[in-house]
Amino acid sequence: MSATTSQLQVDGKTVDMAIKTGSIGPSVIDIGKLYAQTGMFTYDPGFTSTASCESQITYIDGDEGVLLYRGYPIEQLAEHGDFLETCFLLLEGELPTAAQKADFDYRVTRHTMVHEQMARFFQGFRRDAHPMAVMVGSIGAMSAFYHDSTDISDPHQRMVASMRMIAKMPTLAAMAYKYTVGQPFVYPLNSLDYSSNFLRMCFAVPAEEYKVNPVLSRALDRIFILHADHEQNASTSTVRLAGSSGANPFACIAAGTACLWGPAHGGANEAALKMLEEIGSVENIPKFIAKAKDKNDPFRLMGFGHRVYKNYDPRAKIMQKTTHEVLNELGIKDDPLLDVAIELERIALSDSYFIEKKLYPNIDFYSGITLKAMGFPTSMFTALFALARTVGWIAQWKEMIEDPSQRIGRPRQLYTGSPPREYAPIGRR
Ligand code: ACO
């Protein structure tokens, strides 16, 4: 039988700490009373050994390369489901019945338009602004436009805010794109499914008829499913921390979007594609591998490595297949970037440095090539990630708000600054 308590010796004193066991995955040592009993904090920068919450949404086994949404393997959801079904699953905990699915699709679809004044709000941005800068600003502005769904103590308002975020994110992302290329915004078309609608809002122009390519739409839907949630990653933890103070959901998602932007997180798909372009051809790969292994060189192979996956990222495998489907559909036979990617992956996976450090390709390694082939500029990649991750952020935020034991998140620190000292007037410094 597994132990239910653990003991810690501190300054000759024994402190008992409960061990809590989840349904699968590592148990946790409950250190909540440690400070009260010992006057000490725990220290874990980067949170490599810290579970910040209890959650029933997503499970990752990084050693085995397993990802489950509400218990369902990502491979099965990506193969058989669609993105809105995944959204329902993440939010409600169960796969929808046919009637629930139809109702959910209907409700999301009826929220796709954004307040007309948002279009004027967009005019305030520079045309050359990065789409993620526009996304962070416009998502934050949603709380100014949808004030009637910002009371987090009202379950109905929480539900409406969730629907609005999932429905309006593609519209905002498409507007961010259209704005940077100087084309008119395209209104959503409710007869289309979620991903087809997004493709049309991005690539249709009033001067021509636009026909959605079903292969591209299905591929995009799969990309959205793969990115929908990933337990307590940096942006999700940001959303939870922002939400723990009682901030409204639009503000929390804006905070998560800002965190996602960084190149170590969601910005890696953009960085991975830029790196493949910089490598340029297969002959240059050894030079870049050597740079990645050089301790004195800050260069890293973008799209490789993951804090949790110490095995092949299961999403990367599905993504690789999707990449080939899209390139075939578009008749792209000899894409030099794909050649570089395949060879880079082959060399890295057989190199002792990468094997020993368990550095495998992550989802971003292939998603960039696919999105580029579909016609998205690299600057839009992270915005698409934010669009897909919104449901995960919302589901995690909702789970936290509905937890009766929820309180503000407030980490402590190991202070290494100056001890108390006397203020010196400016003339005596
Ligand atoms: N290329 C070369 N070496 C690497 C790489 C890489 N991509 N990633 C990690 N390493 C090395 C580190 O130098 C370190 O070596 P050391 O032990 O000799 O010091 C070791 O592997 C461990 O790396 P850490 O940075 O400690 O691992 P951490 O868990 O903190 O970082 C991260 C994970 C940020 C993803 C890292 O692997 C990385 O920077 N990868 C490239 C960026 C990227 O692809 N990010 C996408 C993440 S997935 C996502 O957000 C969807």
194-249 per-position pLDDT tens digit: 999 999 999 999 999 999 999 999 999 999 999 999 999 999 999 999 999 999 99
Return the closest-CA partner of residue 276 out of 224, 204, 336, 348: 336
Rounded to an integer, what is the distance from CA 371 to the centroid of its chain? 16
Q: Which residues are catalytic?
A: 306, 364
Question: Which neighbouring-strand residues pair with 61?
Answer: 66
Nearest CA to ligand 1 atom 40: 305
Question: Which of the listed residues 60, 306, 384, 393 should we mutate to test ligand 1's pocket, taking the one with most ligand atoms within 8 A of CB?
Answer: 306
302-356 per-position pLDDT tens digit: 989 888 888 888 998 899 899 889 989 999 877 788 889 889 988 888 999 999 9
86-123 per-position pLDDT tens digit: 999 999 999 999 999 999 999 999 999 999 999 999 99
Strand pairing of 66-69 and 58-61? antiparallel
pLDDT in the model for residue 1: 44
50-78 per-position pLDDT tens digit: 999 999 999 999 999 999 999 999 999 99
Q: What is the DSSP string of 144-168?
A: HH-GGG--TT-HHHHHHHHHHHHHH
CA of 234, closest atom in ligand 1? 50
Question: What global pTM score does this model have?
Answer: 0.91
Answer yes or no: are the C-beta atoms of 242 and 255 closer than 8 Å: yes
pLDDT in the model for residue 270: 84
CA–CA gap between residue 366 and residue 359 (Å, rounded): 15
List all residues whose CB is within 6 A of at least one atom of ligand 1: 264-266, 268, 292, 300-307, 357, 359, 362-364
